[in-house]
Each structure stands twice: as C-alpha cells, then as structure tokens.
Amino acid sequence: MKLLLLVTAFNSQTQAIYTRLQDKGHTVVVCFAISESQMLEEIEAFEPKLILCPFLKAYLPASIYENYPTYIFHPGPRGDRGPNALEYALKSHTKEWGLVVLRANSAYDGGDIYAEVHFKVRETYKASLYRQEIVNASLEALELLFDNIVNNTCLSQVMNPIHAPFTSSTTEYKLGDRLNANHHR
C-alpha cells in the first residue's frame, strides 16, 4: 500500500513507524510539514492511500484531511487533546498514560479514535518516555489502526468543553488547562 508519513521531524517515533511499514512491504515516503502548498504538492505527486502523522506539530490544513484519509498519532489517552501531552503526564505524576491514533478532522485532536494503547509512566524525563513508551505504543497502535480501518471500528473522541479553544491554528494553549487528572485511567 502507498503510505505517506506527514511529519515535523524524522524522530525516533517516525523512524520506527517508517521501518515497520517498510518491513511489512508498504511503499512509504516522508513529507515534512513546511507549508500547505508544499505538502499538497508532495501528496498529490505521490497519491497515497493513507497519510499517517506520527509526529506533527503543525496544524493540519483541511485541504489535506478532507481529501485524503489522514491519521494523527497523539501522545495522550482518549480525552486528552492539544500540545504538551507528555509534559502534563510527567508534571502531574500520572501513573498511566496512553497514545491514540485519530482520524484528522476540523477539531484539533478531536477526530474519531482508531487505535488506543495505554502504558505505565516511569519516573523519568520526557525524551526517555518518548523514545521508549511512546515509540512502543505507536508500533502497537499501528497494528490496531490497520485492523480498525478494515473493520471500520472507532471510538468518538471525548469532547470536553475545556477543548473548545482547540479549533484553529492560532489558539494558544496553557498547560494548566489540561483535563482533570481524574479522567485518566
């Protein structure tokens, strides 16, 4: 299958997903999220069956997700949205966290969830948690994603009023506005 990885950086998570997909026989290309026109040009030239965004810090333009099935890997459990997810987990001493793969739509991190993986949070620094738990959860979620796309199985994202600001690329987000810790399993 032709798959495009739309990313901000070719980090450990992206590398692991890229390698796993190639090992499974997929044709995979990487597109860096620099500008809408550049992304569209590369996407249209490659004509992917799916777009996967394992590490994307940029707001995804509607011209992409409305025309191509696009899935975002978010380093937070169902109900968590927005940036700084791992920072929140570490600063709040959360014992269990997660990663979801959601279908991109107009609500920032608000699309239907096609894969969800939970993991224990070690007392460590962010980079270590990212390189180990997030990468492993991403690979597990990748398998679930393909199964759930085939079976059309997904969960709705939890839409909490606190997330109302996450609807445009110009919104500022404050770490203290994160969901109450009691929603995390």
pLDDT at 129: 80
DSSP class per residue in the chain: -EEEEEES---HHHHHHHHHHHHTT-EEEEEE-S-HHHHHHHHHHH--SEEEESS--SPPPHHHHTTS-EEEEESS-TT--SS-HHHHHHHTT-SEEEEEEEE--SSTT-SPEEEEEEEEPPSS-HHHHIIIIIHHHHHHHHHHHHHHHHTT--BPPP--GGGTTTTSTT----GGGSPPGGG--
The span from the CA of 115 to the CA of 71, in Å, is: 10
167 has pLDDT over 70: no
pLDDT at 160: 52
Per-residue confidence band for 106, with pLDDT thresholds at 50, 70 and 90:
confident
Most confident of 44-48, 88-92, 103-107: 44-48
The span from the CA of 44 to the CA of 170, in Å, is: 26
> What is the value of pTM for the model shown?
0.81
Give the neighbor-by-neighbor strand order of the sheet with 113-120: 27-32, 2-7, 50-53, 70-74, 96-103, 113-120
Six token digits for residue 154: 């997904």
Q: Which residue has the higher pLDDT, 42 or 58?
A: 42
103 has pLDDT over 50: yes
135 has pLDDT over 50: yes
Residue 75 — φ and ψ, nearest 5°?
-80, 60
pLDDT at 182: 30
Domains of the chain in start order, with CATH, are 2-183 (3.40.50.170)
